[in-house]
Chain A
Amino acid sequence: MGNLVDRIIKGDMRAFDDLYMKYKLPVMAILSKSTGVKGDDLIDLFHSCTLALLENCASGRIKEGSLPDSNIRAYLIRTARNIFLAGIRKKERYGKFMLPLDDPDYPGDIEKQLAVDTADPNYEEKIEQVREAVWNMEAPCDELLMLRHFEKRSSEEIASLKGYANGDVAKNMVGRCMKKLKVFVIGKFEELGL
Protein backbone atom coordinates (compact mmCIF):
# COMPACT_ATOMS: atom_id res chain seq x y z
CA MET A 1 0.00 0.00 0.00
CA GLY A 2 2.73 2.52 0.92
CA ASN A 3 2.23 5.67 2.90
CA LEU A 4 -0.37 8.21 1.85
CA VAL A 5 1.96 10.92 0.54
CA ASP A 6 3.99 8.45 -1.53
CA ARG A 7 0.78 7.20 -3.10
CA ILE A 8 -0.29 10.80 -3.88
CA ILE A 9 3.10 11.46 -5.50
CA LYS A 10 2.48 8.44 -7.72
CA GLY A 11 -0.89 9.91 -8.72
CA ASP A 12 -3.18 7.76 -6.56
CA MET A 13 -6.04 10.17 -5.92
CA ARG A 14 -7.78 7.73 -3.56
CA ALA A 15 -4.83 8.31 -1.23
CA PHE A 16 -5.67 12.02 -1.40
CA ASP A 17 -9.27 11.22 -0.40
CA ASP A 18 -8.04 9.01 2.45
CA LEU A 19 -5.65 11.68 3.67
CA TYR A 20 -8.32 14.36 3.53
CA MET A 21 -10.91 12.32 5.41
CA LYS A 22 -8.42 11.07 7.98
CA TYR A 23 -6.91 14.44 8.89
CA LYS A 24 -9.71 16.93 8.32
CA LEU A 25 -11.37 16.77 11.72
CA PRO A 26 -8.29 16.32 13.97
CA VAL A 27 -6.31 19.05 12.18
CA MET A 28 -9.26 21.45 12.15
CA ALA A 29 -9.80 20.84 15.87
CA ILE A 30 -6.20 21.78 16.66
CA LEU A 31 -6.24 24.77 14.30
CA SER A 32 -9.45 26.04 15.80
CA LYS A 33 -7.94 25.97 19.28
CA SER A 34 -4.59 27.46 18.31
CA THR A 35 -5.79 30.16 15.89
CA GLY A 36 -9.36 30.82 16.97
CA VAL A 37 -10.53 30.47 13.36
CA LYS A 38 -14.02 28.99 13.04
CA GLY A 39 -16.66 27.97 10.49
CA ASP A 40 -16.04 28.46 6.79
CA ASP A 41 -12.72 30.21 7.41
CA LEU A 42 -11.50 27.11 9.24
CA ILE A 43 -12.50 24.90 6.31
CA ASP A 44 -10.76 27.34 3.91
CA LEU A 45 -7.65 27.15 6.04
CA PHE A 46 -7.68 23.36 6.01
CA HIS A 47 -8.29 23.35 2.24
CA SER A 48 -5.33 25.69 1.77
CA CYS A 49 -2.90 23.56 3.74
CA THR A 50 -4.09 20.40 1.99
CA LEU A 51 -3.62 22.13 -1.37
CA ALA A 52 -0.12 23.16 -0.32
CA LEU A 53 0.71 19.55 0.47
CA LEU A 54 -0.73 18.39 -2.85
CA GLU A 55 1.13 21.09 -4.76
CA ASN A 56 4.39 20.25 -3.03
CA CYS A 57 3.87 16.59 -3.94
CA ALA A 58 3.21 17.54 -7.58
CA SER A 59 6.16 19.90 -7.86
CA GLY A 60 8.58 17.36 -6.38
CA ARG A 61 9.32 19.47 -3.32
CA ILE A 62 8.11 16.60 -1.18
CA LYS A 63 10.05 13.55 -2.27
CA GLU A 64 8.94 9.94 -2.02
CA GLY A 65 9.61 8.60 1.47
CA SER A 66 10.27 12.05 2.92
CA LEU A 67 6.89 12.49 4.64
CA PRO A 68 5.75 9.38 6.51
CA ASP A 69 2.15 9.06 7.70
CA SER A 70 3.22 9.84 11.28
CA ASN A 71 4.37 13.33 10.19
CA ILE A 72 1.44 14.32 7.96
CA ARG A 73 -0.64 15.83 10.74
CA ALA A 74 2.23 17.97 12.00
CA TYR A 75 3.02 19.05 8.43
CA LEU A 76 -0.57 20.12 7.77
CA ILE A 77 -0.78 22.02 11.07
CA ARG A 78 2.54 23.79 10.51
CA THR A 79 1.56 24.76 6.97
CA ALA A 80 -1.87 25.95 8.06
CA ARG A 81 -0.37 28.11 10.81
CA ASN A 82 1.99 29.73 8.33
CA ILE A 83 -0.88 30.40 5.96
CA PHE A 84 -2.87 31.81 8.87
CA LEU A 85 -0.04 34.13 9.93
CA ALA A 86 0.56 35.26 6.36
CA GLY A 87 -3.19 35.86 6.09
CA ILE A 88 -3.16 38.06 9.20
CA ARG A 89 -0.34 40.15 7.78
CA LYS A 90 -2.06 40.57 4.48
CA LYS A 91 -5.55 40.79 6.01
CA GLU A 92 -6.91 38.49 3.35
CA ARG A 93 -8.78 35.27 3.23
CA TYR A 94 -6.74 32.11 3.25
CA GLY A 95 -7.94 31.03 -0.19
CA LYS A 96 -5.77 33.77 -1.69
CA PHE A 97 -2.68 31.84 -0.73
CA MET A 98 -3.32 28.73 -2.68
CA LEU A 99 -1.17 29.50 -5.68
CA PRO A 100 1.68 31.56 -4.18
CA LEU A 101 2.67 28.43 -2.25
CA ASP A 102 5.05 27.70 -5.07
CA ASP A 103 7.82 29.55 -3.26
CA PRO A 104 10.67 27.03 -2.73
CA ASP A 105 11.16 28.09 0.88
CA TYR A 106 7.50 27.75 1.73
CA PRO A 107 6.14 26.97 4.27
CA GLY A 108 9.06 27.86 6.51
CA ASP A 109 9.68 31.49 5.68
CA ILE A 110 6.73 33.83 5.86
CA GLU A 111 8.72 36.95 4.99
CA LYS A 112 9.87 35.30 1.80
CA GLN A 113 6.34 34.16 1.13
CA LEU A 114 5.14 37.75 1.35
CA ALA A 115 8.03 38.93 -0.83
CA VAL A 116 6.94 36.44 -3.47
CA ASP A 117 3.68 38.25 -3.86
CA THR A 118 5.30 41.64 -4.27
CA ALA A 119 7.83 40.54 -6.91
CA ASP A 120 5.18 40.98 -9.57
CA PRO A 121 3.05 44.08 -8.95
CA ASN A 122 0.16 42.48 -10.84
CA TYR A 123 0.57 39.09 -9.26
CA GLU A 124 -2.79 38.91 -7.50
CA GLU A 125 -4.70 40.17 -10.50
CA LYS A 126 -2.96 37.74 -12.84
CA ILE A 127 -3.68 34.85 -10.50
CA GLU A 128 -7.35 35.84 -10.48
CA GLN A 129 -7.39 35.81 -14.29
CA VAL A 130 -5.71 32.39 -14.36
CA ARG A 131 -8.22 31.01 -11.86
CA GLU A 132 -11.18 32.42 -13.74
CA ALA A 133 -9.95 30.92 -17.00
CA VAL A 134 -9.35 27.51 -15.44
CA TRP A 135 -12.70 27.41 -13.64
CA ASN A 136 -14.54 28.43 -16.80
CA MET A 137 -12.95 25.91 -19.15
CA GLU A 138 -15.42 24.15 -21.40
CA ALA A 139 -15.80 20.47 -22.28
CA PRO A 140 -13.88 18.48 -23.27
CA CYS A 141 -10.85 20.57 -22.26
CA ASP A 142 -11.83 20.84 -18.59
CA GLU A 143 -12.03 17.08 -18.20
CA LEU A 144 -8.94 16.36 -20.29
CA LEU A 145 -6.72 18.82 -18.45
CA MET A 146 -8.05 17.62 -15.11
CA LEU A 147 -7.27 14.01 -16.00
CA ARG A 148 -3.78 14.95 -17.13
CA HIS A 149 -2.69 17.45 -14.48
CA PHE A 150 -4.79 16.61 -11.43
CA GLU A 151 -5.25 12.87 -11.71
CA LYS A 152 -1.89 12.48 -13.50
CA ARG A 153 -3.31 10.03 -16.03
CA SER A 154 -1.11 8.90 -18.87
CA SER A 155 -2.10 9.64 -22.47
CA GLU A 156 -3.04 5.96 -22.92
CA GLU A 157 -5.30 6.04 -19.87
CA ILE A 158 -6.97 9.25 -21.07
CA ALA A 159 -7.48 7.70 -24.52
CA SER A 160 -9.10 4.66 -22.97
CA LEU A 161 -11.30 6.73 -20.63
CA LYS A 162 -12.42 9.16 -23.33
CA GLY A 163 -12.67 6.64 -26.16
CA TYR A 164 -9.90 8.10 -28.34
CA ALA A 165 -8.13 5.89 -30.86
CA ASN A 166 -4.80 5.89 -29.04
CA GLY A 167 -2.53 7.74 -26.62
CA ASP A 168 -1.17 10.03 -29.32
CA VAL A 169 -4.63 11.38 -30.06
CA ALA A 170 -5.22 12.03 -26.36
CA LYS A 171 -1.82 13.69 -26.00
CA ASN A 172 -2.60 15.90 -28.97
CA MET A 173 -5.98 16.86 -27.54
CA VAL A 174 -4.51 17.71 -24.14
CA GLY A 175 -1.76 19.77 -25.79
CA ARG A 176 -4.29 21.70 -27.85
CA CYS A 177 -6.44 22.42 -24.82
CA MET A 178 -3.46 23.69 -22.85
CA LYS A 179 -2.38 25.89 -25.73
CA LYS A 180 -5.89 27.29 -26.07
CA LEU A 181 -5.99 28.07 -22.35
CA LYS A 182 -2.55 29.67 -22.45
CA VAL A 183 -3.41 31.87 -25.42
CA PHE A 184 -6.65 32.92 -23.73
CA VAL A 185 -4.92 33.87 -20.45
CA ILE A 186 -2.07 35.76 -22.12
CA GLY A 187 -4.65 37.56 -24.24
CA LYS A 188 -6.49 38.53 -21.07
CA PHE A 189 -3.27 39.85 -19.49
CA GLU A 190 -2.62 41.98 -22.55
CA GLU A 191 -6.20 43.17 -22.73
CA LEU A 192 -6.06 44.29 -19.09
CA GLY A 193 -2.57 45.74 -19.42
CA LEU A 194 -1.08 43.35 -16.85
Chain B
Amino acid sequence: MRIDKDNIEKILEMAIRERGAMERMEALDRQMAAEAAASRRRRTWITSVAAACVLFVACGDATLKLHTRSVGNGYEFTDISRGARSGSIEKLLNSKEFSAAYKEIQSTREEIREELQHPSYDDPDYLSQLNTDLQELDFMEAIGHLRQGKFFKARKELKAIAGAEGTFAEDAESLLRKML
Protein backbone atom coordinates (compact mmCIF):
# COMPACT_ATOMS: atom_id res chain seq x y z
CA MET B 1 0.00 0.00 0.00
CA ARG B 2 1.27 3.44 -0.85
CA ILE B 3 0.51 6.41 1.35
CA ASP B 4 -0.12 9.59 -0.61
CA LYS B 5 -2.45 12.56 -0.84
CA ASP B 6 -5.24 10.38 -2.23
CA ASN B 7 -5.51 8.06 0.72
CA ILE B 8 -4.00 10.11 3.53
CA GLU B 9 -7.43 10.94 4.99
CA LYS B 10 -8.26 7.25 5.26
CA ILE B 11 -4.91 6.59 6.97
CA LEU B 12 -5.51 9.49 9.35
CA GLU B 13 -8.93 8.12 10.27
CA MET B 14 -7.33 4.76 10.99
CA ALA B 15 -4.68 6.41 13.15
CA ILE B 16 -7.38 8.32 15.06
CA ARG B 17 -9.23 5.07 15.69
CA GLU B 18 -5.96 3.48 16.74
CA ARG B 19 -5.30 6.27 19.24
CA GLY B 20 -8.88 6.12 20.56
CA ALA B 21 -8.70 2.36 20.97
CA MET B 22 -5.24 2.47 22.57
CA GLU B 23 -6.34 5.07 25.12
CA ARG B 24 -9.47 3.09 25.86
CA MET B 25 -7.60 -0.21 26.20
CA GLU B 26 -5.05 1.34 28.53
CA ALA B 27 -7.86 2.75 30.68
CA LEU B 28 -9.51 -0.69 30.74
CA ASP B 29 -6.18 -2.30 31.67
CA ARG B 30 -5.87 0.10 34.61
CA GLN B 31 -9.46 -0.58 35.65
CA MET B 32 -8.94 -4.35 35.46
CA ALA B 33 -5.69 -4.09 37.44
CA ALA B 34 -7.42 -2.02 40.14
CA GLU B 35 -10.30 -4.50 40.34
CA ALA B 36 -7.88 -7.43 40.53
CA ALA B 37 -5.93 -5.72 43.33
CA ALA B 38 -9.12 -4.99 45.28
CA SER B 39 -10.24 -8.58 44.82
CA ARG B 40 -6.83 -9.84 46.01
CA ARG B 41 -7.06 -7.64 49.12
CA ARG B 42 -10.58 -8.95 49.88
CA ARG B 43 -9.45 -12.54 49.39
CA THR B 44 -6.40 -12.05 51.60
CA TRP B 45 -8.48 -10.53 54.36
CA ILE B 46 -11.13 -13.25 54.26
CA THR B 47 -8.46 -15.94 54.12
CA SER B 48 -6.68 -14.43 57.12
CA VAL B 49 -9.89 -14.25 59.12
CA ALA B 50 -10.84 -17.80 58.19
CA ALA B 51 -7.34 -19.01 59.01
CA ALA B 52 -7.46 -17.29 62.37
CA CYS B 53 -10.80 -18.89 63.10
CA VAL B 54 -9.55 -22.32 62.09
CA LEU B 55 -6.55 -21.75 64.30
CA PHE B 56 -8.78 -21.02 67.26
CA VAL B 57 -10.91 -24.05 66.78
CA ALA B 58 -7.93 -26.27 66.11
CA CYS B 59 -6.00 -25.11 69.13
CA GLY B 60 -9.01 -24.79 71.41
CA ASP B 61 -7.79 -21.24 71.78
CA ALA B 62 -11.35 -19.96 71.95
CA THR B 63 -11.64 -21.33 75.46
CA LEU B 64 -8.91 -18.83 76.29
CA LYS B 65 -8.23 -19.15 80.00
CA LEU B 66 -11.52 -17.58 80.74
CA HIS B 67 -11.05 -17.82 84.47
CA THR B 68 -7.53 -16.59 84.77
CA ARG B 69 -8.48 -12.92 84.77
CA SER B 70 -11.43 -13.44 87.07
CA VAL B 71 -9.36 -14.78 89.90
CA GLY B 72 -7.11 -12.76 92.10
CA ASN B 73 -9.57 -10.37 93.63
CA GLY B 74 -10.72 -12.80 96.27
CA TYR B 75 -14.26 -13.18 95.03
CA GLU B 76 -13.91 -15.72 92.30
CA PHE B 77 -16.00 -18.37 94.02
CA THR B 78 -18.71 -16.20 95.53
CA ASP B 79 -22.29 -16.69 94.41
CA ILE B 80 -22.14 -13.81 92.09
CA SER B 81 -18.73 -14.57 90.68
CA ARG B 82 -18.82 -15.22 86.98
CA GLY B 83 -15.78 -17.45 87.15
CA ALA B 84 -18.00 -20.42 87.93
CA ARG B 85 -20.77 -19.19 85.64
CA SER B 86 -18.42 -18.67 82.75
CA GLY B 87 -17.51 -22.32 83.06
CA SER B 88 -21.02 -23.22 81.99
CA ILE B 89 -20.98 -20.66 79.20
CA GLU B 90 -17.69 -22.08 78.08
CA LYS B 91 -19.21 -25.57 77.95
CA LEU B 92 -22.10 -24.28 75.84
CA LEU B 93 -19.71 -22.56 73.45
CA ASN B 94 -17.57 -25.70 73.19
CA SER B 95 -20.61 -27.81 72.39
CA LYS B 96 -21.65 -25.19 69.81
CA GLU B 97 -24.87 -24.39 71.59
CA PHE B 98 -24.47 -20.76 70.71
CA SER B 99 -28.03 -19.56 71.30
CA ALA B 100 -28.06 -21.06 74.79
CA ALA B 101 -24.62 -19.59 75.48
CA TYR B 102 -25.68 -16.08 74.40
CA LYS B 103 -28.84 -16.38 76.51
CA GLU B 104 -26.70 -17.34 79.50
CA ILE B 105 -24.29 -14.47 78.79
CA GLN B 106 -27.15 -12.00 78.62
CA SER B 107 -28.83 -13.16 81.82
CA THR B 108 -25.50 -13.18 83.68
CA ARG B 109 -24.73 -9.72 82.36
CA GLU B 110 -28.05 -8.45 83.71
CA GLU B 111 -27.43 -10.04 87.09
CA ILE B 112 -24.00 -8.44 87.37
CA ARG B 113 -25.33 -5.03 86.36
CA GLU B 114 -28.03 -5.37 88.98
CA GLU B 115 -25.40 -6.32 91.55
CA LEU B 116 -23.24 -3.36 90.54
CA GLN B 117 -26.17 -1.04 91.18
CA HIS B 118 -26.85 -2.59 94.60
CA PRO B 119 -23.62 -4.32 95.64
CA SER B 120 -23.68 -6.87 98.48
CA TYR B 121 -20.24 -5.71 99.63
CA ASP B 122 -18.61 -2.32 99.56
CA ASP B 123 -15.20 -3.80 99.02
CA PRO B 124 -13.58 -2.13 95.99
CA ASP B 125 -12.01 -5.45 95.01
CA TYR B 126 -15.48 -6.97 94.83
CA LEU B 127 -16.72 -4.20 92.54
CA SER B 128 -13.61 -4.55 90.44
CA GLN B 129 -14.28 -8.28 90.16
CA LEU B 130 -17.82 -7.61 88.91
CA ASN B 131 -16.50 -5.25 86.25
CA THR B 132 -13.96 -7.84 85.20
CA ASP B 133 -16.75 -10.41 84.96
CA LEU B 134 -18.71 -8.10 82.66
CA GLN B 135 -15.70 -7.69 80.43
CA GLU B 136 -15.21 -11.44 80.45
CA LEU B 137 -18.77 -11.94 79.22
CA ASP B 138 -18.21 -9.48 76.36
CA PHE B 139 -15.07 -11.33 75.44
CA MET B 140 -16.84 -14.70 75.51
CA GLU B 141 -19.59 -13.34 73.29
CA ALA B 142 -16.98 -12.21 70.76
CA ILE B 143 -15.35 -15.66 70.88
CA GLY B 144 -18.76 -17.23 70.29
CA HIS B 145 -19.32 -15.09 67.20
CA LEU B 146 -15.87 -15.92 65.97
CA ARG B 147 -16.48 -19.63 66.34
CA GLN B 148 -19.80 -19.25 64.56
CA GLY B 149 -18.00 -17.66 61.63
CA LYS B 150 -19.50 -14.21 62.23
CA PHE B 151 -16.12 -12.60 61.63
CA PHE B 152 -17.28 -9.04 61.05
CA LYS B 153 -19.37 -8.99 64.20
CA ALA B 154 -16.59 -10.62 66.22
CA ARG B 155 -14.05 -8.19 64.86
CA LYS B 156 -16.21 -5.23 65.82
CA GLU B 157 -16.69 -6.59 69.35
CA LEU B 158 -13.01 -7.39 69.78
CA LYS B 159 -12.11 -3.88 68.64
CA ALA B 160 -14.45 -2.44 71.24
CA ILE B 161 -12.90 -4.65 73.95
CA ALA B 162 -9.38 -3.71 72.87
CA GLY B 163 -10.32 -0.04 72.75
CA ALA B 164 -11.82 -0.12 76.25
CA GLU B 165 -8.37 -1.09 77.62
CA GLY B 166 -9.89 -3.42 80.19
CA THR B 167 -8.75 -6.78 81.50
CA PHE B 168 -9.24 -8.55 78.17
CA ALA B 169 -7.85 -5.81 75.94
CA GLU B 170 -4.58 -7.62 75.41
CA ASP B 171 -6.31 -10.87 74.46
CA ALA B 172 -8.64 -9.02 72.10
CA GLU B 173 -5.72 -7.26 70.45
CA SER B 174 -3.90 -10.52 70.04
CA LEU B 175 -6.93 -12.05 68.30
CA LEU B 176 -7.38 -9.01 66.09
CA ARG B 177 -3.77 -9.25 64.98
CA LYS B 178 -4.36 -12.85 63.97
CA MET B 179 -7.53 -11.87 62.12
CA LEU B 180 -5.85 -9.13 60.11
Contact = CB atoms under 8 A, between A and B. Distances in A.
8 contacts: A24-B28, A50-B25, A55-B17, A55-B18, A120-B3, A123-B3, A131-B18, A186-B5
B156 to A, nearest CB: 35
B45 to A, nearest CB: 23
B14 A55 contact: yes
A13 to B, nearest CB: 7
Contact of A130 (B15, B21, B24, B25): B15
B16 interface: yes
A146 B21 CA distance: 10
B12 interface: yes
Task: Sort A-B residue pairs by CB-CB distance and give the 7 closest, nearest first.
Answer: A150-B20, A134-B15, A120-B2, A149-B16, A126-B3, A130-B15, A149-B13
A58 interface: yes
Given A13-B24, A120-B2, A149-B20, 16 more contacts: A16-B24, A17-B28, A21-B28, A99-B11, A103-B1, A123-B2, A130-B3, A130-B12, A131-B18, A134-B19, A135-B19, A149-B13, A150-B16, A150-B20, A151-B20, A186-B8
Given A54-B17, A58-B17, A185 B12 contact: yes
A31 interface: no
Of the four ranges (under 10, 10 to 19, 20 to 34, 35 or more), the interface on chain B belongs to 20 to 34
B125 interface: no
Interface in A33-73: 43, 47, 50-51, 54-55, 58
B11 A50 contact: no
A90 interface: no
A145 interface: yes
A24 B32 contact: yes
A54 B20 CA distance: 11
A156 interface: no
B17 A20 contact: no
A98 to B, nearest CB: 5
Given A54-B21, A134-B16, A151-B20, A119 B1 contact: yes
B21 A120 contact: no
